[in-house]
A and B are shown apart, each in its own frame.
Chain A
Amino acid sequence: MSGILKLRCAPGVPAMAVDVMSPDYRVVRRVMLTPGVEHLVEVPSEASFLRCYLPSGRAVTLADPGNLDREITPDALMLANRTSYVSKGSETSIAAERDRRGHLEARASGSFESLEAVRRYQATRSTPAPGGSAWPPPAGVDVVPLGEGVSAAIRSHDGAVVQGSLADNGRDASWELLGPTFDPPFELRLDTPAGPVRMAIPAHAQHTWARLDTPARQHGPIVSIRMQTEAPVADTILNYLADGETAAAGAMRDWASHGESLLKSKMSDPYAAAVGAYLLLRLGDYAHLRDWPRNLADRFPALPDGCVIWAWQLIQTAPSREQEIAEYLLMAAARGLPVYGHGTRLLFDGLTLLGDVGRPALERLQAQVGALVRTSPVTMWYEPVTTGAPPATTPEMTFDVAFGTENAAL
């Protein structure tokens, strides 16, 4: 029997994409769920159910046949996250699930056995150090050793070192980053046996944490890095895109189209605006992009992404403006590597399209980055080979970079 489904979420549920599904598994409607916003969806049956795309990348289903007034709670999501098990009101299982997660965190003092196990841990790890945050916090250090000959350090754009602290028997390193959201990006530098690796960190990041595991079931060590920023929706979008869930990210289309407002306020957040613009670019939604990416390009020179986005918007919508496209692509290259991995790929592709005009800039950038770590949502690269001390060119280290979520369980 058809009806109107009321859909909202309880406090503590992060912004996420939700598919309202019919009993025959059609997507009736896809919405972005945020606290305080109620959606009314016409459904073909009271047996319709929900598919929620958690910010950590997993999708879970929630069914409650006959109930057309649905409030999604953190507990329901946590239970469902266990393996998409459909809760039939088993509240005691929630406590059991919490116990299980506690066990998971306790295991973190050793190395995980596989990349999947590391990802599961990072998807549930709370922002403070696992095993409870010590107070007073441990003394900060400039360079944090992660083991296996790998150390990490974060510097701000002016070269100042951000002190990091170690937790969990020296396995977890974390940094608190409290800079203005419109500052140039931070940089994480990892010194590894295969040479230094650099990674951009958006200035609106609040926390960054990293750990190194040497799983028995996987070839080579894994360095997993998570960032949590002041724009959780942007974080979720980047996680969706990294997992290929562009369609789910499409639910954030409206949020992204307000990127312009993120540039206007006094405490502007050009990073969140850039993420929104990348999403719209990927969706081919140029109507929502209008011309505000040009403001992003012109007003925030420390963020080369603005130039890349504007140039690509022109390539897609006004390819005859070749001069302007070339100008913005070359300007991006002159400013350095974009903060986001997708931007760096687009910049390289754009310079390739410019042919001889773009080749010098392309070769300069390629020489600057020895090898890009292309699986990272933010730009990450091995420093290039230098004569006399060549690093391995087939690094066996796996980098697992993603954005963390405010609610650790999701």
Chain B
Amino acid sequence: MSLHHPLPPATVELQQPRLHALVIGVAHYPHLLGGDPAAMARDPLSLGQISTPQHTARAIAGWLTTRYANHACPLGSVELLVSTPGGNADGTEAATADNIENAVGRWFTRCSSHPKNIAFFYYCGHGLEKGAQFLLPEDFGNPAIVDPWKNCIDLDRFRAGLRASLQAEALFCFVDACRETPFSMLTQVNVSGRPLVGGNGFGTALSTNGLYNAAASSRQAYGPATEPTYFAQALLKCLEGVASTNDGTAWVVDANSIDAGLTKMLRYYGDRVGQSLKPQTDVMGSTVLHESGRGLVLASVGCATAQASQCAEIELTRGAVSHRAVMTDPKPFERELAPGDWDVRIRFPNGEFPDSQAMTFTLLPGVWQGVPYP
């Protein structure tokens, strides 16, 4: 059973606007490298085992069930499928192609139960691209099946089907996967995948249709082995307030502000880990996804040079609130701050450089990197 929330299934609210989520994490590929040697795909496409998707899927599902807030469209349901090498002790279903297909069917039906619903889809696992984008379930490449692409999902046709058939207010589709084209994929015929959803016509129901890819075409997405991916971390920070806007009534996170927030967060993470991380998004519409209730600034403070940073003490002050990094603390000094006017003061206890005056910065939700001193 892949329904993660609410339980029992009969309690899922279908008469009122709700957000219905499908979250998939594939961290076990028995037919790829490092999997079962006796059942390896004839062409494993140089794809190996990964662990970050299980942490990612559970973090996203956990956030939805504990933090998500939207008075116009509260949480309705979360379907969760996770593949791990040892299976799931809590009974969560594995993310095989058939399980995904069945879960999509249930999710689709729930999403279409009310025209003001929000459909939320998050996939984390291996991905490929050859013309279209493909997502790889756990049992991709099973050598017992003659067609190596049978257990594969065609994301482009899946989205086309959703667009044509989904009767909901908004679709948020997060794809946390690579988009490379291995050379041997180019030489294969009949590369294809399951569309999962059919339909005809162009569909008009969706007022917001957002696709958020963790990686640009031909690029990789990354994540720490024992934590959620950088894309997921960036998304969760955006939802917690980094992408908040306030139009006069409340701090909210909408389809467009997620777009801008993800770009900035991933650029920041990329600079930190020495990779070029840039999401590729395609967003039409601006439906509010989450009422964050606050804005959040991710501040990263260092000096103009690494040498100065090493011997600096950094202090961030706003009213009675103060954060301080001493010389031995890692730099840049990172803190999550409330928006507002912050005083930054840099001191050099050993006198390598002159101490700074207090510098005042107006920080707004987003990523803020400073300061040009000395």
Binding site for B on A (CB under 8 A): 21, 24-28, 49, 51, 59, 61, 63, 82-86, 88, 100, 114-116, 217-219, 243-248, 281-284, 315-316, 319, 322, 325, 342, 345, 348-349, 352-353, 355, 362-363, 366, 371-375, 385, 390, 393-395, 398
Residues of B within 8 A of A100 (CB): 372
The B interface, classified by DSSP as helix, strand, loop or mixed, is mixed
User: Are A247 and B286 touching (Cβ within 8 A)?
Assistant: yes
Give the residues in chain B near A248, CB-CB below 8 Å. 260
Q: Distance in Å from the Cβ of A216 to the closest Cβ of chain B?
A: 10
A82 contacts B271, C-beta separation under 8 Å: no
Contact of B156 with A83 in the complex, beta carbons under 8 Å: no
Residues of B within 8 A of A247 (CB): 245, 256-257, 260, 286
Cβ of A97 to closest chain B Cβ, rounded Å: 9
User: Given the complex of chains A and B, what is the CA–CA distance between A63 and B362 in angstroms?
Assistant: 8
Name which of B30-38, B109-117, B363-371 contacts chain A. Answer: B363-371
Nearest B-chain residue to A390, judged by Cβ: B183
A349 and B274 contact, CB distance less than 8 A: no
Report if A246-B283 is in contact (Cβ < 8 Å); known contacts: A219-B274, A325-B202, A390-B186: yes
- Hey, which chain A residues are within 8 Å of B145, CB to CB? none
The answer to whether A84 and B260 touch across the interface, beta carbons within 8 angstroms, is no
Q: How far is the CB of A285 from chain B (nearest CB, A)?
A: 11
Complex Cα distance, B341 from A28, in Å, reads 18
Tell me if A83 and B263 are in contact (CB < 8 A): no
- What 0/1 readout, one digit per residue, does chain B (264-298) give for beta carbons within 8 Å of chain A? 10010011001110111111111000000001000
Q: Which of A83, A218, A283, A362 contacts B371 (CB 8 A)?
A: A83
Query: Is there an interface contact between A88 and B274, defined as CB atoms closer than 8 Å?
Result: no
- A26–B361 touching, CB < 8 Å: no
Which residues of A lie under 8 Å from residue B257 when comparing CB positions? 247
**Given A85-B359, A319-B203 in contact, is the A353-B248 Cβ separation under 8 Å?**
no
* B217, B258, B267, B341: the one within 8 Å of A371 (CB): B217
Which 3 pairs across A and B sit closest by C-beta, in order of nearness?
A244-B259, A244-B260, A319-B202
Contact indicator A393/B182 (Cβ below 8 Å):
yes
Q: In the assembly, what is the distance between CA of A71 and CA of B318, in Å?
A: 28
Q: Which among B59-67, B90-98, B157-165 touches the partner chain?
A: B157-165
A49 partner residues in chain B, CB cutoff 8 A: 362
Q: List 16 A-B contacts (CB under 8 A).
A: A61-B362, A63-B362, A82-B372, A86-B360, A115-B271, A243-B260, A244-B258, A246-B286, A247-B256, A248-B260, A282-B284, A325-B202, A342-B282, A352-B132, A395-B218, A398-B276
Are B282 and A373 in contact (CB-based, < 8 A)? no
Asked if B88 lies at the interface with its beta carbon under 8 angstroms from chain A, I say: no
CB pair A374 B280 closer than 8 Å: yes
Tell me if B181 counts as interface (CB < 8 A to partner A). Answer: yes
Contact assessment for B364 and A25 in the assembled complex, using a CB-CB cutoff below 8 Å: yes
In the complex, what distance in Å separates the CA atom of A219 from the CA atom of B270? Answer: 11
In the assembled complex, which residues on chain A have CB atoms less than 8 Å from the CB atom of B226? none
B262 within 8 A of A: yes
Contact of B160 (CB < 8 Å), options: A26, A219, A319, A352: A352
Identity of the chain A residue whose Cβ is nearest the Cβ of B369 in the assembled complex: A83
The reply to whether B160 and A353 form a contact with Cβ atoms under 8 Å apart is yes
**Contact mask for chain B residues 177-192; partner A; CB cutoff 8 A; 1 contact, 0 none:** 0001111011000000
* B248 adjacent to A374 (CB under 8 Å): no
A393 vs B370: C-alpha distance when bound (angstroms)? 38
Contact yes or no, A25 B218, CB < 8 A: no
> Which residues of B have CB within 8 Å of A217?
274
Q: Is the CB of A371 within 8 A of B246?
A: no
Q: Quick check: A116 and B267 within 8 Å, CB to CB? A: yes
In the assembled complex, the Cα of A259 lies from the Cα of B42 at a distance in Å of 55
Given contacts A114-B271, A244-B256, A352-B157, contact A315 B202 (CB under 8 A): yes
Q: A345 to chain B: which residues have CB within 8 Å?
A: 282
**Chain A, residue nearest B280 (CB):** A374
**B361 near A393: Cβ-Cβ < 8 Å:** no
